[in-house]
Amino acid sequence: MKGDNIVTIKRVRYETPVRPVDVDLMVRKVNEDSSVLVSAVGEPPDFVDGDPALELDGAIAPMRASIRIDRPCGSPRYEHGFTELLFVVKVDQRGGLLDEVRLDYVVDGYPGQYTLELDSRIVLCGDAIGVDAGKAYCADT
């Protein structure tokens, strides 16, 4: 976010070199200090391994078009809570790869649209996941 202005996410785009069965986007809003979710098996809030550490604070809902993010970036980072975008990816034996994730957004008070490019990939191992640009993602799959 820029200052205290409200950001509206207009669209989330990504490439799928290995297409998953399905991708759902969810939004998690947390009002206190809490951990972010990096990776888990299952769909929030029902994770497969049942680890109590994966019990998430906050509210989780499907992402809707033109979602508004009105929480300013705090310092320290999570002192006032946060809004988190979750990718729920369903795969079959082939696995799945999401690459070149981009968030298109507008900022109240600023003209034009902006794009945030995430410098990461979402990799779910399977038969179709192998070596890309010399990097092996999944060993022994």
- pLDDT tens digits for the chain (141 residues)? 445 688 999 999 999 889 999 999 999 888 777 777 778 888 877 777 666 656 778 888 999 888 888 776 554 555 667 888 899 999 999 999 998 899 999 998 888 999 999 888 889 988 888 766 556 667 654
Residue 1 has a pLDDT of 42
Could you tell me if residue 1 is inside a domain?
A: no
Could you tell me if residue 141 is inside a domain?
A: no
What percent of the residues of the chain are helix, what percent strand, and what percent coil, each to the nearest 5?
0, 45, 50
This prediction has a pTM of 0.79
Could you tell me if residue 52 is inside a domain?
A: yes
Rounded to whole angstroms, the Cα distance separating 121 from 129 reads 12
- Its domain, for residue 66, covers 7-136
Of 13, 42, 38, 16, give the one whose Cα is nearest residue 128: 16
Could you tell me if residue 59 is inside a domain?
A: yes
Could you tell me if residue 17 is inside a domain?
A: yes
Domain count, the chain: 1
116: Cα within 13 Å, side-chain hemisphere? 14
Edge-to-edge strand ranges of the sheet holding 82-90: 59-62, 22-30, 82-90
